[in-house]
Amino acid sequence: MKKILNSVESLLEESLNGFAKAHQDIIQFNHQPHFIRRKDSSPKPKVALISGGGSGHEPLHTGLVGVGMLDAACPGHVFTSPTPDQMIAAAESVENGAGVLFIVKNYAGDVMNFEIAGEMLDCPYDTILVSDDVSLPKDHSTGRRGVAGTVIVEKIVGAAAEAGASLAECKVLGDRVNNATATMGVALTSCTVPALGKPTFDIGHNEMEMGVGIHGERGREPMELSNASEIVEHLVAAIDVDLQPKQGQKVLLHVNGFGATPLMELYLVFELAETLLKDKGVDVVRSLVGNYTTSLDMAGCSVTLTLLDEQLIALWDAPVHTANLRWGC
């Protein structure tokens, strides 16, 4: 394993220090306990959006803190949930009279720790549970995982909170976006957790893992490696079965890289997915391509589709200024 690091133990702290220095105009880094918060607080009461999860998915979530998106993010160790004390400290730092909304990916550790934190807060709070991974059935014992669709939820709800929506309104909106969003991923290689020092799972030279999770969880099925068109057909078909977009439906198409796939390949995936959707009569009116919900050094990508209406389009287009997503500011 070749990694650019001093030690496994110091990697997260040093990385967060570098992130904070590089983006000191946007965010502040609280060291003990770790959380990233917006530098400029809203001058009027505003719902505070807080998310978080294990590190290794950058820029999710720390790179999405700023105007029009998250107020704070709590990074845990690599692929490890942040702790309740991080979430409580972050909430106390950014809450300013309109309550706190947690945006949580559906993983057991994240769900449990955010629930514990919420119960210990002295302000109103609610939770959006993101569950967009259609590689798992809807009736899966622990529910579907939250993956790249988390970015879509955070952006749209962040815009609504910035515009003055109430805690209840933001909660309803976030659940609606989650239910209108579906993601399917494919891995060409495993990822390597620094502390483990070897690939998380084995995958053959001529294999791919369809439906892989963002922590290196084995997917729906291993398949023989095929060309880009066939890969995208599998991804889009799984999403189509779940969302069943109608003719003329406006959608946001998000192609997300897992960390080791070049943009040249991601844009190829977008081209193929957009063409397939267009042939089905689906209208791709908004797009996002790049590395937003990564899995360390995994090669592969995911395709996310969100069904849009005019309200959601306006909220997606609203100004945002974070380290890794910005327009209109």
Catalytic annotation on 215? Answer: yes
Query: Residues 6 or more apart from 38 whose CB is under 8 A from it?
Result: 26, 27, 28, 65, 66, 67, 70, 71, 72, 94
Q: Which of 117, 20, 32, 99 is nearest to 62 (CA)?
A: 20
The amino acid occupying position 195 is: A
Query: Residues 6 or more apart from 275 whose CB is under 8 A from it?
Result: none
Report the residue count for the chain: 329
Of 77, 215, 234, 254, which one is the catalytic site residue?
A: 215
CA distance 316 to 143: 27
Of 34, 57, 61, 234, which one is the catalytic site residue?
A: 57
Catalytic annotation on 23? Answer: no
Query: Residues 6 or more apart from 329 whose CB is under 8 A from it?
Result: 67, 68, 319, 320, 321
CA distance 34 to 85: 9
The amino acid occupying position 257 is: G
Which residues are annotated as catalytic? 57, 215
